[in-house]
Chain A
Amino acid sequence: MTDRNASQPRRRAGLFDLRWIIAVLFAIYGAVLTVVGLGFTSDADVSKAAGLNINLWSGAGMLATAVVFGLWAQLRPLAVPEQPAKEALPETPPGLDTES
């Protein structure tokens, strides 16, 4: 039981914002699939996928996902709390750590 609270004061909010990473990944994927769907999907590909241009549709869906995550991260940026976890957690009562 050494480090329980040792690291509390310099706690950072949370690494880096995961929402941006999701937005970037889906933006890349969405752009690639949209381009492929528009320019490089053959009739054979379309008929394979039951008549849907699935690359184009997936690409558009991914771009929309990227926009949603980008907006979320932009509008609600990570707050870095001055005070770490305000939750008043009970301290370990004496005697609990005894190895019986």
Chain B
Amino acid sequence: MPVLAASDLRLAAGPLDYALLAIYFAIVLGIGYLARRSVSTSLDFFLSGRSLPAWVTGLAFIAANLGALELLGMAANGAQHGIPTMHYYWVGAIPAMVFLGLVMMPFYYGSKVRSVPEFLRRRFGMGAHLFNALSFAAAQMLIAGVNLYALALLLNLMLGWPIPLSIVIAALVVLAYTTLGGLSAAIYNEVLQFFVIVAALLPVTIVGLVKVGGWNGLVDKISAGPGGAGQLEAWPATGLTGIGDATLSVLGLVFGLGFVLSFGYWTTNFAEVQRAMSAKSMSAARRTPIIGAYPKALIPAIVVIPGMIAAVVVPQMTALKAGAGADGIEYNHALPLLIRELLPNGALGIAITGLLASFMAGVAANVSSFNTVFTYDLWQHYIVKGRPDAHYLRVGRWATVGGMVVAIGTAFIAAGFSNIMDYIQALFSIFNAPLFATFILGMFWKRMTPAAGWSGLVAGTVAALVMLVLTRSGVVDLPGQGASFVGAGLAFVTDIAVSVAVTLGTRPRPDRELVGLVYGLTPKADRKHSTEGADAGWYRSPVLLGVGVLVLTVALNIIFS
């Protein structure tokens, strides 16, 4: 990212704003300290002892995803593309979250695995496990680096702290609370962060809407602007996909973004699934992603809409959209610029706190899922086996420290990339799309063999990598995020094809070894959850909640098309 003239984005933060920020940091560290007292086994540290209520894990589930890229990137998309950005939420998240809760969670939670790679080990054995654990650990470190860099960049732009110092300070705070309290501290802080993020973004959205003359004023201004009225309709979103033909654009959205990328991300990304695994019961685990889906459907109102407002209110943004942007101004700056434009001291402090909180949530989610996979799946399985639990708890704490140091390193790598959003989408297409293909096939097709498990994963990953190289070197020309949609689709198809071919040529595992792991072999009773005590009541039914959020999403799509 180009360096801005320092004064362009500097927020006029005063002592009051810093004080509000300091109060927040004090509470975050306090949670880490309090959580430490209840951590006595490695299960406490890594899965919160499977004791958390569903509303906590549900909010943590989406807060873990509400990091720097999400906030800045989606506000930027909103400024650039308008309403079609909503697809990242309504097509790209909600159906997958409901699917995770209703269909997949019984296997994750019911088989009592402690991580997504561990599920692969139980289903396919060592090859797929080792490959996935290693690639997941690597991906988390790369993404943590991106989050950390984005956080430091914002500290630098808004408050003027030097980037290296910002990276280290941010890393130390996250490290302090995750090593102390493990996943509980990370999750509790994520829930707190969620509310602070809302408290930060709601005022700027309201003030912005008043400024442009309400929703109608915004509609008029955007229709009259360079984007035209097309930016106010959700479909067919040709500007977002970079695919000119309307039908193909819809297909690309539904299959590429909606099916492969988002199902891949939400259902197999351990940083997310871990939050549900720490729920206190099967019912709570199934409700976790579904409860998260409700705020997820509504959050674009305070992320995407401020981006759209910024495009018509902030002079630098209107200039950029008209094709005459000043040097160094990008769409990524939409949200900070709007905050700078509208909020007085006080509300400004809350907004800064909210942005920093969101970025730390992202880093903490990466690091806390990394340390689990590193400790359980790599260290305990391949390096030092059969030690007392205390040993692995200690390893987990040190893995957190080590992971943070590596993330500081990858943050400096991320600093070298010009467009962070493309980089991150490419990472998802490489790591998540093939994994989803293997999962879906392995969960529903009992014949799928261990050899097919690892070879499909490897082939899918290679396919996505090849696609990345082809687009980067200009052999294939796909603008926008179209390249990663296509890459994800290709990885998915390749994985399925190779898995099926290899399965037909190798010997399957006996049925009795796959009970609880494959849909057809798991007795219905084992997939059911209790409906007594804290799980009683019609409003706690995962199916009902899931249908409710799907109806809400369809309604939103109709209203905005």
**Do A48 and B342 touch across chains, with their CB atoms under 8 A apart?**
yes
A: residues with CB less than 8 A from B are 2-4, 6-7, 11-16, 18, 21-22, 24-26, 28-29, 32-33, 36-37, 40-42, 45-46, 48-52, 54-55, 57-58, 61-62, 65, 79, 81, 84-90, 92-93, 95-100
Interface presence of B394 (CB below 8 A): no
Shortest CB-to-CB span from B18 to chain A, Å, is 12
Chain A binder among B23-31, B134-142, B226-234, B237-245:
B23-31
Contact A88 B344, beta carbon cutoff 8 Å: no
A85 in contact with B280 (CB, 8 Å): yes
Q: Return chain B residues, CB-CB under 8 Å to A42.
A: 344
What CA separation (Å) do A40 and B349 show in the bound complex? 15
List CB contacts (< 8 Å) of B463-521 with chain A: 509, 512-513, 515-517
Most buried by B among A46, A93, A97: A93
Point out the residue from B112, B121, B122, B347 that lies within 8 Å of A55, measured CB to CB: B347
Asked if B223 lies at the interface with its beta carbon under 8 angstroms from chain A, I say: no
B41 x A6 contact (CB < 8 A): yes
Q: Is the CB of B34 within 8 A of A16?
A: yes
Q: Is the CB of B51 within 8 A of A36?
A: no
User: B256-280, CB under 8 A of A: which get 1 and which 0?
Assistant: 0000000000000000000000001
A11 vs B39: C-alpha distance in the bound complex, in angstroms? 11
Closest A residue to B522 by CB, please name it: A90
* Cross-chain contact A12 with B38 (CB below 8 angstroms): yes
> Which secondary structure characterizes the binding site on chain B?
helix
Q: Is the CB of A25 within 8 A of B23?
A: yes
Residues on the A chain within 8 Å of B203, using CB: 54, 57-58
Known: A45-B344, A51-B210. A18 touches B125 (CB 8 A): no
Q: Please report the C-alpha to C-alpha distance between residue A37 and residue B203 in the assembled complex, in whole angstroms.
A: 13
A97 to chain B, nearest CB (A): 8
> Which residue from chain A places its CB closest to the CB of B122 in the assembled complex?
A96
CA A4 – CA B112 in complex, angstroms?
A: 8
Q: What is the interface size of chain B, counting residues whose CB is below 8 A from a CB of the partner?
A: 71
Closest to B191 in A: A18
Q: B residues engaging A (CB < 8 A)?
A: 16, 19-20, 23-24, 27, 31, 34-35, 38, 40-44, 49-53, 56, 109-112, 121-122, 125-126, 184, 188, 191-192, 195-196, 199, 202-203, 206-208, 210-211, 280-283, 341-347, 350, 386, 388-389, 450, 509, 512-513, 515-517, 526, 529-530, 532-534
Q: Which residues of A contact B125 (CB under 8 A)?
A: 98-100
From A11, A18, A88, contact of B49 by CB (8 A): A11
> Which residues from A are CB-within-8-Å of B450?
100
Contact A92 B112 (CB under 8 A): yes
The chain A residue with its CB closest to the CB of B532 is A86
Q: Hey, which chain A residues are within 8 Å of B49, CB to CB?
A: 7, 11
